[in-house]
Structure 1
Amino acid sequence: MAKTTGLGQGVSALFGDSPDDERFFECDIELIVPNKHQPRFVFDEAGLEELADSIIEKGIIQPLIVSKVSANRYTLIAGERRLRASKIAGLKTVPVVVQNIGDEDAFLELALIENIQRTDLNPLEEAEAYKKLIDRFGYTQEQTAQKVGKKRSTITNSLRLLLLPDYIRDDVVSGFLSEGHARSLLRIVDNPAALKEIRDQIVAKHLSVRQVESLIRKYKKPKQTENVAAQQDIVEQEISDSYCKALATQITNKLNSRVVINRNGNRGKIEIEYYSLDDLERLVSVLTSDS
């Protein structure tokens, strides 16, 4: 049963009073190639079915954005959920807007920014997209924030999620853990045993974020209340692994950056990770502050 494709107000916003602009047309759905730079790597099947039902009922409200790669082939820049749902709905054509892209780097940048702004990415997909922008184009966190229209603190906090081990990140993607749980667990990211223990309790007991934070505080308290004499004795002898991890965790929480202590007998070095030149400047400011 054929349906008239719905275009809503998106066309007028894009083309003013000229919706027949040659960049906008109904494209054969088989001529559109999925975007290899798509930041989303998880697509909810139930959500796609619901979107397909909506498309059958009301049509596609917002056109897909594509780039022309040959006479009869287009690469998707933004709108993969709509493309997938349109195939489920049985559509033969979809409305598209053609963007002229100069080179591969320009395409990657536009694809990432379009999808970050338009798509409901999960927290890890969003963090990976920011990291690609920073790594590929050398953007600072401030520049990345300007590109995607978000606060710099949002970018910094998002990137920190990438410090979590793979199994925790998988839990966030699959929905076993919320973004709030993940942010709480960052406080003990350098203590793998504690991280695994608390993660298992979250899943088994369905703990809230507040309960997790309370649990982490109780877990950290014995380490924080060790008496000064005992700490001095440890320093005079060979520093233990567990004590180094506790110190590293304290510094990590203070600097909001991953810290590793590498020891060699009673000597060693402290390594502090930073994620961009912007982040390095932040760390220098914290470390040199009088407060």
Structure 2
Amino acid sequence: MTKNKGLGQGVGVLFGDDSEEELYFECNVENITANKHQPRNHFGEQDLAELADSIKEHGILQPLVVRRNPKKGGTYELIAGERRFRASKMLGMPTVPVIVKDVADENTLLELALIENIQRTDLNPIEEAEAYHSLISKFNYTQEEASVKLGKSRSSVANILRLLNLPDFIKQDLIEGNLSEGHARSLLRLADNIAAIKEIRDQVLSKKLSVRQTEMLVRKYLHKPATQTLKKSEDRQEIPDSYCSTLTNQLTNKLHSKVTILQNGSRGKIEIEYYSLDDLERVIGLVVKE
């Protein structure tokens, strides 16, 4: 076992300048488990393949950061380096370089995992926003405190967090790369009008509009006469399928019965199934109580 003198900027940002004093060695891949607090949900196969090719050619330039597994001696849990870990396993590497940090507290582990991932450049905007939100809510940080922790401006933290106010179908577009963060920020001006967001989003995707063109489209919509906007929304717009599915699931989980929402423009009906007279009374009791 040896000690490493060049662990990379990411580790230094996380732990300060004394990281060279930590234990550094080649660890068996089978003895490492993923971080259960990993905030990244989407790992692109193409990105991992490209990273694996780079590791195959140049090796792992920055060690993974791990802690000793308190429940099983001789094994370790990741703190930082999930992508490098996955890419190494893709290559079938038997060992990877690691440094071991003395982190026993679960809250500290979660905080380090969040900060390390936010400081990377490959999070999609929604993963980044959710990581910010987790950091702020779990550790009672203000946006100002979070911005200091992350080395970012308060305005950039606030702008990213606002993306969580968008409907689920726009969030999915951001995750899949169909829309950019700039497109999404433009649509935030219509955050209280899901039908309008859906209408403009469809135009952006079908016509491959730029962020600037999207902003112009949003401004044009906002400056329509109120009666014209209302009429279009009432006469032609249905709620988006993804949002309709969310509402259906919420009702189904609440009533423990199959629920169907049938749309007809801005109107529609809700169908609730029941399976016996007792079940009907149960469902009615839940609805009346609410």
TM-score, normalising length: structure 1: 0.70
Q: Which letter does structure 2 place at the counterpart of 1:66?
A: V
Supply the RMSD in Å over aligned alpha carbons: 2.6
Matches within 5 A, 1:1-291: 9-10=6-7, 23-69=23-69, 70-223=72-225
Q: CA offsets per residue over residues 8-34 of structure 1, 9 Å max, x none? A: 932799799996x66111111011111
| 1:72-128 CA-partner distances (Å, limit 9, x unpaired) | 221111111100110111100000011111311111111111111135211111110
How many pairs were matched up? 221
Contact 1:8/1:61 (CA < 8 Å) preserved in 2? no
Q: What is the one-letter code of the residue matched to 2:184?
A: A
In structure 2, C-alpha distance between the alignment counterparts of 1:211 and 1:28, rounded to whole Å: 52
CA 186–59 in structure 1, closer or farther in 2 if over 3 Å, else same: same
Aligned in 2, Cα 1:18/1:133: closer, same or farther, shift over 3 Å?
closer
Cα distance in structure 1, aligned partners of 2:5 and 2:22:
19
Q: Stretches of 4+ moved more than 3 A in 1?
A: 11-19
Gaps of 5+ in 2: 234-290
- Maintained 8 Å contact 2:118/2:150: yes
Amino acid at match of 1:95: P
- Distance in 1 of aligned mates of 2:46 and 2:82: 15
Cα distance in 2 for residues equivalent to 1:18 and 1:81? 21
Partner of residue 277, structure 1: none
- Secondary structure of the residue aligned to 1:201 is helix
Distance 1:45 1:141, change over 3 A: same
Q: Give the 3 Å change call, closer, same or farther, for CA 120–8 of structure 1 in structure 2.
A: farther
Match of 1:253 in 2: none
Deviation by residue 1:155-181 (Cα, 9 ceiling, x = unmatched): 100100000011100000001100000
Q: Percent identity?
A: 58
> For the structure 1 residues 18 and 9, does the alpha-carbon distance in structure 2 shift closer, same or farther, using more than 3 Å as the test?
closer
TM-score computed with the length of structure 2 as normaliser = 0.70
Partners of 1:216 and 1:202 in 2: CA distance: 11
Q: Tell which deviates more after alignment, 203-212 or 10-19.
A: 10-19
**Distance in 1 of aligned mates of 2:197 and 2:160:** 19
Structure 2 counterpart of 1:130, which letter? Y
Given that residues 31 and 74 in structure 1 are in contact (C-alpha distance below 8 angstroms), is that contact kept between their aligned partners in structure 2? yes
